[in-house]
Amino acid sequence: MFTGIVIDRARVRALVPATRASDTRIEIETSLDTSRFAIGASIACSGCCLTAIQKGAGWFAVEASAETLSKTTLGGWQVGTAVNIEPSLRVGDELGGHIVSGHVDCTAILVSATPEQGSHRLVFEAPAAFARYLAPKGSVAIDGISLTVNEVEDRPDGTARFGINVIPHTWTATTLGQTAPGGRVNMEVDALARYVARILGRN
């Protein structure tokens, strides 16, 4: 489990394509102390929960299946791609964001990014299948970042556009400041919203 509080903006340093015997291997360069990462530990990489399979000073490696590559933005990663990193929670850690599983539901599209005083106002478009889980003042994880939804606009085609505000720290410390309109991001809906929808028979 994670909280959506990114602690490092890392980068992809190497990619080894999948073979018949192995999944795609991704090596990630980070400023974090990788000695705290156990082999087999879960690490959220831009919102995707991946397993550390190897590590060294300043880097660690993970593997991504074909399913992960097809359902998330990881399929478009290249050497140099920026990656938001959050290690899994430990007992006693502060719950600073909201409960995030690291299981990406879909990709959303950044529609616009507009400066607003010291912050940035971002508008995303979510697929129709997940529009029902978005609500004003609810939570959503975008590329592994815990964010608060400001407003939701339901569209005729069933999709939904939702707005968030990003403070300067988040803008510069995560990948959001490098995402251009039209770009895709990993999105995980709030688990509470999913359970409520299930109970009400809307899932």
Q: Is the pLDDT of residue 107 over 80?
A: yes
Distance, in Å, from the CA atom of 17 to the CA atom of 63, rounded to the nearest integer, reads 10
What value does the mean pLDDT of the chain take? 94
User: Per the structure block, which two tokens stand in for 171?
Assistant: 């803008």
Question: Taking 90 as the threshold, does the pLDDT of residue 202 lie above it?
Answer: no
| Every domain of the chain and the residues it spans | 8-87, 106-199
Cβ-based neighbour number of residue 132 at 10 Å: 20
Residue range 152-157: mean pLDDT, rounded: 96
For residue 4, the one-letter residue type is G
Q: For position 195, what pLDDT does the model report?
A: 78
pLDDT at 196: 79
> Is 91 a residue whose pLDDT tops 80?
no
> 42 to each of 87, 121, 201, how far by Cα in Å?
7, 31, 32
The matching CATH number, chosen from 1.10.10.350, 3.30.428.10, 2.40.30.20, 3.30.70.270, for 8-87 is 2.40.30.20
> Distance of CA 152 to CAs 11, 17, 148, 159, Å?
32, 38, 11, 10
Confidence at residue 199, expressed as pLDDT on a 0 to 100 scale: 77
Q: What pLDDT score does 203 carry? A: 58
At residue 201 the predicted structure's pLDDT band, cuts being 50, 70 and 90, is: confident
pLDDT band at residue 144 using 50, 70 and 90 as cut-offs: very high
Helix (H, G, I), strand (E, B) or coil at 136: coil
139-156 mean pLDDT: 97
Q: Please check whether residue 29 is in contact with residue 11, taking contact to mean a CB–CB distance below 8 angstroms.
A: yes
**Domain 106-199 listed as CATH 2.40.30.20:** yes
Flag whether pLDDT at 95 surpasses 80: no
* Core vs surface per residue 94-117: b (16+ CB within 10 A) or e: eeebbbbebebbbbbbbeebeeee
Domains 8-87 and 106-199 share a fold: yes
Q: Phi and psi of 36, rounded to 5°?
A: -85, -10
Q: Which of 17-31, 48-62, 93-107, 169-183 has the lowest mean pLDDT?
A: 93-107
Please state, in angstroms and rounded to a whole number, the distance separating the CA atoms of residues 153 and 134. 10
pLDDT value of residue 90? 78
Alpha-helical (H) ranges within the chain are 66-71, 128-131, 168-173, 191-199
Classified as helix, coil or strand, 51 is strand
